Structure 1
Amino acid sequence: MASENFRPVYHPAGHDNDLRAAVQELRTGRWVAMRDLLDRTPGWTLWTQRTQVLAAVAAGSDTVQTWLAEEPGSAAATVMQTRVSVERAIRAHREGHPRTQELWQQAWEACGTAARRAPADPVPWVCLLALSQLDSRQRLEEHRLPPPGPMLFPGPWALLAEADKRDPFNREAYHRMLQFVYARRTDGSLSEAVNFVQWAASSAPEGSALHVLPLFVRVERYRRENGHEKALDLHWVTEDATRDALRALNLWFDHAVLAEASLLDLNHLAHALWGSLQFDEGARVFDALGPYYAVLPWAYRTRNQGDAGQAEEVFLRARGRCLASARDARDGPSG
């Protein structure tokens, strides 16, 4: 993997080969592979990840709607239609589309239908959390409930509790809550985000992806402060930054089922370890990534943050530095 000719690959399915095959079928308008994949998906972790990826691909077509029309009694098809509705509402909101309110209402109703059809499934509640970021002024009462602890904010805590009840420490649920924090004010209070992710990680068990959450907030702070424009950037080498990176490594990576690990989590951890000069540890994460990478957070280290090519260059530079350090440590001094 250390070849100079190495070029990373981005694919939303990452290491999940079965998901990759279903995505390919879905892109051609066929839904049977998606149905069969979801039918044999074990556990809520993979279920949540797979439905999210599939919905992002399906949102631009009517394929899931066709599936639901063919199999109206399918709980999986109902959940997937909800996923697609939520994805469309969020995209419309992001683009300032005039139909945003209408799509939001449709998605909200779909969440209720899915929750009744699949009462044990955390995804309908994760979807409601995803929609909460559209309510930046917290006009809905369910989005401004008292927090469960000090230093936290009023928010959709009951929705998070429902997701937690069905799948404790569900990764996407907590990331959706973090997106709500960013959206609830014009500037999206970073101090509230820090308090939230520290609170979430403090109770998470070993192997939980919630231990990576602080790395996402650190990247967000760097992005907002235009850190890439600073002549002397010490953002990543502080004691706090190094501690967060090593905690994520020790509490998540060392215990995680890497075949189910999020590409974003792996990329954020590799980025944090490289940035904090923990090159040997970073090499372990780059090895786990194999041929895959994600544009973020690497794009935030470039002048043009929308340039995927520049992001890839930063990734390759970081990967090469970490793998070289590990190789030198393994081979020892020469001659």
Structure 2
Amino acid sequence: MPMNGAVHPRFHPAGFDGALRTALDDVRAGRWRSTSELLRNCRTWGVRTSRSQVLAAAVVAAQGDAVEAWLQEEPSADALMMRARVRVQQALGAHRAGKRGVGLLADRARAACFEAARYGPADPVPWVCLVALAQLDWPEEGRRRPEHRAQPPEGMLPFGPWVLLHEADKRDPGSREAWHRMIQALRAYGVNVRDVARWICSWAPDGSPLLLLPLYLQAEHYAKERARGALTPLYWTTDLISHSAWRALEGWFWCADRTSWSAQDLGHLAQALFSTGLYAEAAPVFEVIGPFVTPEPWKYIAEAPDLWLEQFERARDKCLAAATGDTRYAARRR
């Protein structure tokens, strides 16, 4: 990002993925051919996973029928995968909104996932979707679906949808979304997921986005504690949070394939470094973010959630000032 602050941040669900932008515009308008082409030309499973997630969210938000039209005109494994994606998104959205009939939506989505898995046996996305649906099961272990209370890979870990995660992970080892969804499911079951995140970081290799999982949990925990008025001014100054931020910076930011970076991952790293006072270390992360900011995690630490962009800009300017020694950046936001 230019150090003169000329780039204005904005949120776009496609983030750095320029090809995804066109497909998003089309699918919102009910057109599916650019989505079909986009999914055929994903260079990694991770790209396919993230693109399909964003596209499905756009279809649901627009209340569109592009995917159903695609299935009718040119049925394919990609179209079946996208139908599973859309149905999972609908079920999760209904659950978050507290609507009735979530169980029926989840069953319909689960059937679509298994159908997509049969037609695309190498594709991790249907299995990622099944892990996502696991969070809609009963929190009580004895009432959960059998595949959601499987034996963990290590004795100290909780029971959970490990079998489904294994299917996703063996197709796309270290799948970012699959492990995030696993954390969501375990949290829905009342598990202390911070312990699970620490276990994941103990074996995640350098360059893996899984090294950022603790930063997500810390930001979300901060938001919850803040909402109930139980925060202390020293929340971000603990050794645990500082260690997590350093580990993500050194093990992920400086090692990862830059074409695989998620704008939201970068945002969580920048926020953690800023909040722990590592301003100069955060500056290169802000430079990479450029204009592609995401509301999370900035809305968690802003004075009010709708002031998240102002919070991002203040943090960015302070960190750039620390890196350059130019106090004009900090002064501009006073």
Same fold (TM over 0.5): yes
Over 6 Å off, 4+ runs: none
Q: Could you say which residue in structure 2 is the equivalent of 1:31?
A: 32
Q: Could you say which residue in structure 1 is the equivalent of 2:216?
A: 216
Tell me, in whole angstroms, the C-alpha distance in 1 between the residues paired with 2:228 and 2:282: 21
User: What whole-Å deviation, never above 9, does each CA across 1:220-263 have from its counterpart, x for those lacking one?
Assistant: 22122117957851111221111100100111111112232111
Tell me, in whole angstroms, the C-alpha distance in 1 between the residues paired with 2:21 and 2:295: 18
2:189 to 180, 184, 193: 184
Tell me, in whole angstroms, the C-alpha distance in 2 between the residues paired with 1:251 and 1:266: 13
Tell me, in whole angstroms, the C-alpha distance in 2 between the residues paired with 1:155 and 1:54: 28
Give the secondary-structure state (helix, strand or coil) at the position aligned to 1:296: helix
Matching of residue 299 in structure 1 with residue 299 in structure 2: yes
Assess if the C-alpha contact under 8 Å between 1:26 and 1:57 holds in 2.
Answer: yes
% identical equivalent positions: 44
CA drift of 1:322 comes to 0.6
What are the residue-to-residue correspondences of 1:253-272 with 2, within 5 Å? 253-272=253-272
Q: Could you say which residue in structure 2 is the equivalent of 1:121?
A: 123
TM-score (norm 1): 0.91
What are the residue-to-residue correspondences of 1:130-141 with 2, within 5 Å? 130-137=132-139, 138=141, 139-141=144-146
Give the secondary-structure state (helix, strand or coil) at the position aligned to 1:119: coil
Q: Could you say which residue in structure 2 is the equivalent of 1:16?
A: 17
Q: Could you say which residue in structure 2 is the equivalent of 1:82?
A: 84
Q: Which runs of 5+ in 2 are unaligned?
A: 327-334
**CA-atom RMSD, angstroms?**
1.7
Q: Could you say which residue in structure 2 is the equivalent of 1:71?
A: 74
| Residue type at the aligned position of 1:94 | R
Tell me, in whole angstroms, the C-alpha distance in 1 between the residues paired with 2:43 and 2:150: 33
Tell me, in whole angstroms, the C-alpha distance in 1 between the residues paired with 2:278 and 2:30: 45
Assess if the C-alpha contact under 8 Å between 1:16 and 1:259 holds in 2.
Answer: no
Give the secondary-structure state (helix, strand or coil) at the position aligned to 2:274: helix
Q: Could you say which residue in structure 2 is the equivalent of 1:101?
A: 103
| Residue type at the aligned position of 1:62 | D
Assess if the C-alpha contact under 8 Å between 2:134 and 2:148 holds in 1.
Answer: yes
User: What whole-Å deviation, never above 9, does each CA across 1:114-146 have from its counterpart, x for those lacking one?
Assistant: 110001111011000000000032421111112
Q: Which runs of 5+ in 1 are unaligned?
A: 330-335
User: What whole-Å deviation, never above 9, does each CA across 1:67-114 have from its counterpart, x for those lacking one?
Assistant: 111112x11111011100100111111112222122111100001101
**1:134–1:31 distance in 2 versus 1, CA, 3 Å:** same
Q: How many equivalent residue pairs?
A: 320
User: What whole-Å deviation, never above 9, does each CA across 1:281-333 have from its counterpart, x for those lacking one?
Assistant: 1011001111111111111113433x2xx11111111100111111118xxxx
Give the secondary-structure state (helix, strand or coil) at the position aligned to 2:96: helix
Tell me, in whole angstroms, the C-alpha distance in 2 between the residues paired with 1:268 and 1:315: 11
Give the secondary-structure state (helix, strand or coil) at the position aligned to 1:136: coil
Q: Could you say which residue in structure 1 is the equivalent of 2:308?
A: 311
Q: Could you say which residue in structure 2 is the equivalent of 1:333?
A: none
Matching of residue 61 in structure 1 with residue 61 in structure 2: no
| Residue type at the aligned position of 1:318 | A
TM-score (norm 2): 0.92
